[in-house]
Structure formats: C-alpha cells, structure tokens
C-alpha cells in the first residue's frame, strides 16, 4: 500500500517514513505542499498523510485541493489539537486527525483501518496476537501459518517475508521492500529472497495448493493471493518469471 507523507520537519519525516515501512507500507516522503500535490497527481497513492504547517501549500489547502478531485483517504497530523483546528481539518475533507508526537503503531493501525474501509482491500488485520487475511492466519508469537486445519511453522526470516505479504494481500510488494523488511537492511540480493520464498512455497505445498498463491512479478516483486481465489486454478508459470 502506497502512502504519500508530507511534513516540513526532516527528522519527523525520516522517523515516520522508517516506521511506516517497517509496518509494510511503501512511503513517498516530501517536505512541502506543492511537491506533495505534484506527487499525489503523479503516483496515485492509496492514502495521504499530511502535516498542517507545510510551506508553500499548507495541509488544509492540500487536503481541500485533493478532495476536490479525488476520494483519496487523507490523515492530517499536527501538534495543534484544539477543537477548532481538528474540526477545520475534517471540514477540509480529512478522514482522520492525528496529534503529534506520533505513536507510530497507532498510526499504522489507523491507516490500515481507513484503507480497509475505503478501498475494500482484504489486507491483513491483527487481532489477539494473530494476523488474519482471508482464511489465512499467522501467529505472531509462534510464527505458525494456519489455513483450515493445516499448520506450517516458519523461520524468523520466512515469517517476516510472509507477514509483509499477508499485510498486503492481493497487492504486489517490491523485492527491495521485502529484503529491507526481512533483513533490516538492503544489501541482500534478490536471489537470497527468491530462495526464502521458494522455501515458504515448499512448506505450504506440504498441505496442498496454498503455495500456488505466492506469485512472482518479474522485475518487480511478489504478491500473495487469497487461497480461496486460487482454488481450482493453476499456478502461473514461473519459468523465467521470478522477481529479479
């Protein structure tokens, strides 16, 4: 899921970008309202996260401009929390208003809730220590994947890869993003990622066709499809189609 983040504070921008990427989001970060508006037009993000006090075009104006042309979800962020400011944010079309300093875990959950509600995307939802996406269930403590009565245990690296794919069920996650999330840095190559994805497939294959739902998108990344939608269909040919 692609997030456009706009904040004039460089430190806040960097920390929030890092935090949201760790929660599985692709983040485009900018420092002023004009650049944010241009990026919104060029990249079509799934959600806009905007600080009110932006230079050139403030958050209220940016929110209003976007809302005049689109239903893209918007969250306003500000250290100003008096009633008038909050009400004004919603009047300009914001879907939510978050106070600084930001609790990044809560912010990630707010973003996920808004995207699930507005886009209808059946991404993963965390409940009671479990990540659920369709009929798939990933235990966040034991690292076990459950589908029906079948259970598969993943290694820590496999767990992080599968977690990110589940959080973005039905969407393509880039190779670079998966590598960064799984290992915490980006100097692993795509072949290493491919090997771990293959192992996940092999484990899932022990219990039927669930493995067919991890698909590679050549030169881009991987996507996890709902196993229910994969039933009765053949897995796409992977010859020469693995992510580079």
**Multiple choice CATH, 125-230, 1.10.1200.10, 3.40.309.10, 1.10.10.10, 1.10.4080.10:** 1.10.10.10
For the chain, counts of helices (H) and of strands (E): 9, 13
| DSSP designation for 208 | S
Top-tier CATH class for 2-119: alpha beta
Contacts of 110 (CB under 8 A, 6+ apart): 75, 96, 98
Distances (CA, A) of 25 to 51, 88, 181, 242: 18, 28, 10, 22
Q: What is the pLDDT of residues 32-62, one digit of tens each?
A: 999 999 999 888 888 999 999 999 999 999 9
Q: What confidence score (pLDDT) does residue 57 get?
A: 92
**Secondary structure letter of residue 239 according to DSSP:** T
CA distance 1 to 231: 25
Task: Tell me the pLDDT tens digit for each residue of 215-234.
Answer: 888 888 898 887 666 654 44
List, in order, residues 6 or more apart from 15 with CB less than 8 Å away.
Answer: 104
238 confidence band (pLDDT: 50, 70, 90) = very low
What is the pLDDT confidence band of residue 244, given thresholds at 50, 70 and 90?
very low
> Which residues pair with residue 152 across a beta bridge?
145
Distance (Å, whole) CA 134 – CA 198:
22
Beta strands 144-147 and 136-139: pairing type? Answer: antiparallel
Per-domain boundaries in the chain: 2-119, 125-230
């Amino acid at each position: 899921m692609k997030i456009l983040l706009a904040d004039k504070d460089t430190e806040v921008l960097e920390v929030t970008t890092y935090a949201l990427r760790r929660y599985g989001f692709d983040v485009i970060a900018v420092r002023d309202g004009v650049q944010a508006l241009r990026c919104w037009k060029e990249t079509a993000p799934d959600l806009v996260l905007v600080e009110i006090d932006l230079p050139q075009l403030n958050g209220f104006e940016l929110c209003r401009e976007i809302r005049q042309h689109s239903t893209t979800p918007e969250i306003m962020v500000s250290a100003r929390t008096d009633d008038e400011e909050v009400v004004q944010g919603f009047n300009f079309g914001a879907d939510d208003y978050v106070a600084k300093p930001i609790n990044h875990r809560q912010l990630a959950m707010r973003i996920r809730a808004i995207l699930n509600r507005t886009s209808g995307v059946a991404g993963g939802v965390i409940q009671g220590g479990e990540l659920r996406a369709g009929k798939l269930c990933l235990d966040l403590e034991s690292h076990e994947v459950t589908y029906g009565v079948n259970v598969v245990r993943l290694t820590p690296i496999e767990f992080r890869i599968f977690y990110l794919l589940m959080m973005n069920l039905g969407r393509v996650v880039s190779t670079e993003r998966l590598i960064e999330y799984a290992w915490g840095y980006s100097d692993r190559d795509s072949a290493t990622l491919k090997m771990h994805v293959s192992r996940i497939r092999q484990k899932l294959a022990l219990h039927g066709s669930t493995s067919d739902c991890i698909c590679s998108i050549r030169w881009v990344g991987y996507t996890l499809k709902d196993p229910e939608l994969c039933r009765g269909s053949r897995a796409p040919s992977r010859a020469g189609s693995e992510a580079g």
